[in-house]
Structure 1
Amino acid sequence: MKFVTGNIFLAGAMTLSFMLVHGPAQARDTISIIGSSTVYPFATVVAEKFGKTTHFKTPKIESTGSGGGFKLFCGGVGTNYPDITNASRAVKSSELRRCATNGVKDIVEIKIGYDGIVLANSRKATPLKLTRRDIFLALAKDVPDPTGSGKLIPNPYKTWKDVNPSLPATPIEVLGPPPTSGTRDAFVELAMEGGGKTFPFIKAMKKNDKKSYKKLCHTIREDGAYIEAGENDNLIVQKLQSNPSAVGIFGFSFLDQNNDVIQGSTIEGQGPTFEAIAEGKYPISRPLFFYVKKAHVDVIPGIREYLTEFTSEKAWGPEGYLSDKGMIPMPDPERNKYRTIAADLKTIEM
């Protein structure tokens, strides 16, 4: 053993440990990726390019939602667990604790770009001109008493016109993601909270009673106005086509790919366009990520090479093929930062 360098010995020991605990290192020769339905189409394009241009197999990708992805990803280390999870929000501290408890301690966070959250309806219907306040009043479980008493009451609004006289008198019927979705997390944080804070007494709650504030702004009504449509955003698009009075919530890329049949609502005067999201002008936008299990790199074939493909300019650059699919590229400094993180496998602090 004296002829083996310390680094090589350490890498060999880690691989041997992986094999002893989790079975043969080559028990799986395909990268396993799960997570966000929003990131899914982008990851799928990269995986297909990767499979065609390298000698590695095309990664297997499943759409489980961001929350569901982290639950599976953090289950443990070994070939029975995913290598990468996609996410349309940053990992939560509670999820990192779950990972650490199960031995998943070295995680690489890679931001890949930006996305806008869209409220869209059929092109057969009138386009909606909304504010975040309208969205909060339409979908929150409890809302300020419209009589001005300063109290909260169960949401009484039945139509968009009830919420705002300038909106159409169509029923509030919104098809959106479930609680396991990163899109849902980002929607309640950016749109619902953004609307709630337009009421001074609710804004004050954030400082005085943060728990109650969060519960109020993040709790969506359960009386049928909001319909959980699962993690399949394509299904929401189909339902909007068959029901012109309904509104759907999903990522910008799905609007971009289906703009022949659906249209995005303007939010505070700004439409959900590629340029508006890239410039930070669209009010409901969020970053996209994926997370890599470092212990699986160099054990599952092709992970390093997949990261190289995803973080290449031809993929995530301003003129890259992911931009063509609707992902909003990061500015040059951010792309350089996360490309370096991916190459160096720099892990996040647990």
Structure 2
Amino acid sequence: MNRILNNRAFKTTAIAAAVIGVATVAHARDQIRIVGSSTVYPFASYVTEEFGAVTEYPTPVIESTGSGGGLRLFCNGVGEGTPDITNASRRIKLSELERCIENGVTDITEVKIGSDGIVFAQSSENDAIELTLEQLFLAVAAKVPVDGELVDNPYTNWSEIDASLPDREISIYGPPTTSGTRDAFEELAMEVPSEEIEAYGGEAYTDVRSDGAYIDAGENDNLIVQRLSEDTDAFGIFGYSFLEENTDTLVGTAIEGVAPEPEAISAGDYPIARSLWFYVKNQHADDVPPLYDYVDMFVSETMIGNGGYLRDIGLIVLPEAEREQTREKVENRAQLEVDDLK
């Protein structure tokens, strides 16, 4: 793999940090611990491998725990047994930040790295289809309106929702409740259409059906991709990067007439799009010398810029001004405040 990073600069910085760490922090560790989102995982994994290859530090340890699971681990406290960074495919919730603070995690920098679309994909053996947000909602909601009353979802085939849709059983492999993808899907694909349906009284409705039509497929999006190759009548819900990596076997569904393509996601035209983040525990910076060398590498133009490596594997790049804001926050180790989330 061609590397266009300034390896010498990264090595020099990392070695200097290591020397300082040995001299001043006897209990320091030199291996970063990362948890969190399965959607951010492919991008973070790329950076960790690059970091291990071009610095004197070991490759960071990274686990795909889901956004919610990662934030729980991250917010458990400060110290050796807790992660340094957590990835998230949604923004941290106010309640999560408050829990962090209660547990002594008081100095956190929030880092926005790019955008992503949540795709509704199927095997490429099928013809591509288009869905409205309402049709998608009616397929996944636990209760839906029938003759003006909310009842347990009776739809078993797509064609029962709309005659123009395929006469196929509704079978959807999707993320669990600990996933940021699930949170974002409920917000964007369920709250929005339900508020427009009279039977819900103008309230957002996000309960997902549990009768077997929606199948909790776990935190590993690659497993959903694999299942779609075996169950060709089913659909799957996951981040755009997994569609990008599997265009030979999968096809995305247009939502409200907009296909899940990078330009549409970046412009905000694709209805189910969200931002991607990671959170840095600044209180670990002294005891984990390579922490900010890794963060600097992640937010570099080489990684998240228009010609960056992460764009090549599916990251939807932020506008230049936002990328500069991200790097400024990292440089200043900007502290996330409760008021920022209100």
Partner of 1:78: 79
1:187 aligns with 2:185: yes
CA distance in 1 between counterparts of 2:198 and 2:313 reads 40
1:243-262 correspondence runs (5 A): 243-262=231-250
> CA shift at 1:201, angstroms?
4.7
Match of 1:210 in 2: none
Distance 2:234 2:113 in 1: 31
Q: Deviation at 1:254?
A: 0.1
Aligned with 1:228 (options 195, 211, 216): 216
TM-score by length of 2: 0.90
Structure 1 residue 224, shift from structure 2 partner: 0.3
1:97 Cα offset (Å): 1.5
Residue 121 of structure 1 contacts residue 240 of structure 1 at CA under 8 Å; is this kept in 2? yes
- Is 1:205 aligned to 2:206, yes or no? no
Structure 1 position 197, deviation (Å): 2.7
Q: Matches of 1:121 and 1:300 in 2, distance apart?
A: 43
**Helix, strand or coil at the partner of 2:202:** helix
Gaps of 5+ in 1: 1-14, 207-212
Distance 1:197 1:264 in 2: 25
The answer to whether the aligner puts 1:59 opposite 2:93 as a matched pair is no
1:281 alignment partner, SS class: coil
Give the corresponding residue for 2:9: none
Q: Paired residue for 1:168?
A: 166
Partner Cα distance (2:79, 2:168) in 1: 52
Q: Does 1:111 align with 2:109?
A: no
Task: Give me the whole-angstrom Cα distance separating, in 2, the residues matched to 1:155 and 1:329.
Answer: 38
**Which residue of the partner structure matches residue 278 of structure 1?**
266
Percent identity of equivalent pairs: 51
Contact kept, 8 Å, 2:85 with 2:278, in 1: the verdict is: yes
| RMSD of equivalent CA atoms | 1.4
**What stretches of structure 1 move > 4 A for 4+ residues in a row?**
none
Q: Report the counterpart of residue 284 of structure 2 in structure 1.
A: 296
SS of the residue corresponding to residue 218 of structure 1 reads coil
Deviations 1:303-323 (A, max 9, x none): 111111011111100110000
| Residues in 1 aligned to 2:132 and 2:226: alpha-carbon distance in whole angstroms | 25
Q: 1: CA distance between counterparts of 2:266 and 2:296?
A: 23
C-alpha distance in structure 2 between counterparts of 1:283 and 1:262, whole Å: 20
Amino acid in the other structure paired with 1:344: N
- 2:82 match: secondary structure: coil
> How far has the Cα of 1:50 moved from its partner?
1.3
Q: Tell me which residue corresponds to 1:39.
A: 40
Q: TM-score, normalised by structure 1?
A: 0.88
| Number of equivalent positions | 316
| Structure 1 residue 295: Cα displacement | 0.2
